[in-house]
Amino acid sequence: MKIHAISISPHKGMRKTNVDSAYLLENFGLKTDAHGGKWHRQVSLLAQESIDTMRDKGLDVVAGNFAENITTTGIDLLTLPVGTHLEIGPAELVISQIGKVCHHKCAIFHQAGDCVMPREGIFGVVLRGGRIRVGDPLRITGSRSPSAGIIGTAAVEAASGDRLQQQIMSLWHPAFIRFDRLNDKEDNLQEIINDVTDLQQIESLIIFDPPGKHQLAMLGIEAEVRGANRYRKGRTEILYCRSLEEVVREPGPGRKPTTAG
Question: 140 and 153: one domain?
Answer: no
pLDDT for the residue 250 = 53
Domain boundary among 144, 177, 207: 144
Give the total residue count for the chain. 261
pLDDT for the residue 75 = 96
pLDDT value at 177 more than 60: yes
pLDDT value at 226 more than 50: yes
Question: Which strands, in side-by-side order, build the sheet including 224-227?
Answer: 176-181, 147-152, 204-208, 236-241, 230-233, 224-227
pLDDT digits (tens, 9 = 90+) for 7-66: 999 888 777 899 999 999 999 999 999 999 999 999 999 999 998 988 888 878 889 888
Mean pLDDT value across residues 90-99: 96
Question: 106 and 164: one domain?
Answer: no
Instruction: Look at 87-96, 153-162, 181-190 and tell me which has the smallest mean pLDDT.
Output: 181-190
The whole-angstrom separation of Cα 143 and Cα 154 is 33
**What's the predicted TM-score (pTM) here?**
0.87
- Domain holding 138: CATH number? 2.40.33.20
Alpha helix (H) residue ranges in 20-130: 48-56, 107-112, 117-120
- Split into its structural domains, the chain has a count of 2
Question: 132 and 153: one domain?
Answer: no
Question: 42 and 57: one domain?
Answer: yes
% of residues, the chain, pLDDT over 90: 61
Question: 172 and 120: one domain?
Answer: no
Question: 140 and 186: one domain?
Answer: no
Question: 203 and 234: one domain?
Answer: yes
* Buried-state track 28-64, b at ≥16 Cβ within 10 A, e below 16: bbbeebbbbeebbbbbbbbbbbbbeebeeeebebebb
Domain boundary among 144, 164, 191: 144
Question: 122 and 167: one domain?
Answer: no
Question: 86 and 180: one domain?
Answer: no
pLDDT for the residue 252 = 52
At 254, the pLDDT band (50, 70, 90 cuts) reads very low
At 124, the pLDDT band (50, 70, 90 cuts) reads very high
Question: 14 and 134: one domain?
Answer: yes
- Domain holding 199: CATH number? 3.40.50
Task: Report the phi/psi class of residue 58: left, alpha or beta, with left for phi > 0 and alpha for psi in -120 to 50.
Answer: left
Phi, psi of 41 (to 5 degrees): -120, 65
Question: 101 and 183: one domain?
Answer: no
The residue segments making up the domain with residue 254 are: 147-259
pLDDT for the residue 98 = 95
pLDDT value at 111 more than 70: no
pLDDT for the residue 188 = 85
Which residues have C-beta within 8 Å of that of residue 75, sequence separation ≥ 6? Answer: 1, 47, 138, 140
At 251, the pLDDT band (50, 70, 90 cuts) reads low
Average pLDDT, the chain: 87
